Amino acid sequence: MTEQEPIYRGKAKSIFRSENPDELIVKFRDDITAFDGAKKDELSSKGVYNAKVSAYLFRYLEENGVRSHFVRMEDERTMIVRPLEMIPVEVIVRNIAAGSLVRNYPIEEGTPLDPPVIVLDYKDDERHDPMINDEIIVALGFMTAEEIEAVKQTALKINDLLKGKVDAIGLDLVDFKLEFGRHGDEILLGDEISMDSMRLWDKQTHASMDKDVYRFDKGDVMTTYAEVAKRLAGEE
C-alpha cells in the first residue's frame, strides 16, 4: 500500500485503492491550506490529529444511528473507508454566525442562529465553491428533492450529536461542513469531521480552536489541534 500512487491527491488527504474493492485507503497528510489553497503549509502531526478526531466522531455518529463511510483505522493517519461516488455539494450547518455568512450578509459575528442554518455549496475549487440551492442541485442531477431533504435531516441530527460532544469539552460548535456520497443505493456521510471542517470557539473567551487559528494567524495551530484532539478523543 505504502509506495503506490494515490488515485486522488487532494489538498489535505490522499486516496489509495485497496485490495478489497469495497474499501479505499485515506491518508491524512500534514498539509494545511486556506483561501482556496493560496495559503499552504506542512505542520508535523496535523494529519494525525485530524484523523484521530474524524475516526472518533465517525464511530460516535455510527453508535447513534448515522451511517458513514468509516470502516476502521489502519494506522494513526490512515483510515479505511467505503468507496463513495461523491456528491459535489458541501453541506454546512451553522449554529452561530461566522465566516462567509458574516462576510456576505448583514449579520454580526457571534449571533446565535436558532434554528440552525443549513447552507449548501457547490464543491468546485475553480468556481470557488459557490452557494447552490435545492432546485439547482435537482436540475444538475446531483440529488432528488427527497434525497436533499433526507441529507438535511441527517445533517441536523449530526449537528445535535456533535453539539453535545463539543459542549462537553468546553467549546461551542459554531459551524461545520459535511460531504455525502453514494454507496450502492445508499447515501452515506463521507470525507472527514475535524478541526479543518468545524469551527469551534472556547465557550468563555470565544477564542478559535480550529483552522481559523491557521487562516488568521491567531496562535499556534498544532497546540490548538492537539488540545482539541486530546479533549475530544483522549490521550495520544
Residue showing the smallest CB distance to ligand TYD in the complex: 99
AA letter at 173 = L
Q: How many C-beta atoms lie closer than 10 Å to residue 25's C-beta?
A: 21
When the beta carbons of 56 and 122 are compared against ligand TYD, the nearer one is 122
Question: 27 contacts which partner out of ligand ATP, ligand TYD, none, CB within 5 to 8 A by kind?
Answer: none
Residue showing the smallest CB distance to ligand ATP in the complex: 10
Cell 463513495 appears where? 84
**Cβ of residue 88: shortest distance to ligand ATP, in angstroms?**
8
Question: 172 contacts which partner out of ligand ATP, ligand TYD, none, CB within 5 to 8 A by kind?
Answer: none
Rounded to 5, what percent of the chain is helix, strand, coil? 30, 35, 35
Question: 121 contacts which partner out of ligand TYD, ligand ATP, none, CB within 5 to 8 A by kind?
Answer: ligand TYD
Cis peptide before 115 (omega within 30 of 0): yes
Name 234's Cβ contacts closer than 8 Å, sequence gap at least 6.
none
When the beta carbons of 17 and 113 are compared against ligand TYD, the nearer one is 113
**Cβ of residue 114: shortest distance to ligand ATP, in angstroms?**
28
Question: 13 contacts which partner out of ligand ATP, ligand TYD, none, CB within 5 to 8 A by kind?
Answer: ligand ATP
- HEC secondary structure over 27-54: EECCEEEECCCCEEEECCCHHHHHHHHH
When the beta carbons of 24 and 129 are compared against ligand TYD, the nearer one is 129
Q: What are the residues binding ligand TYD (CB under 6 A)? A: 90, 92, 99-101, 121, 129, 175-177, 196-199
The answer to whether 216 touches 210, Cβ cutoff 8 Å, is: no
AA letter at 210 = D
**Cβ of residue 136: shortest distance to ligand ATP, in angstroms?**
19
Length reported for the chain: 236
Q: What are the residues binding ligand ATP (CB under 6 A)? A: 8, 10-13, 15, 24, 69, 81-84, 86, 179, 181, 190-191
Question: 18 contacts which partner out of ligand TYD, ligand ATP, none, CB within 5 to 8 A by kind?
Answer: none
Question: 77 contacts which partner out of ligand ATP, ligand TYD, none, CB within 5 to 8 A by kind?
Answer: none
The answer to whether 189 touches 90, Cβ cutoff 8 Å, is: no
What distance in Å separates the CA atoms of residue 56 and residue 54, rounded to the nearest whole number?
A: 5
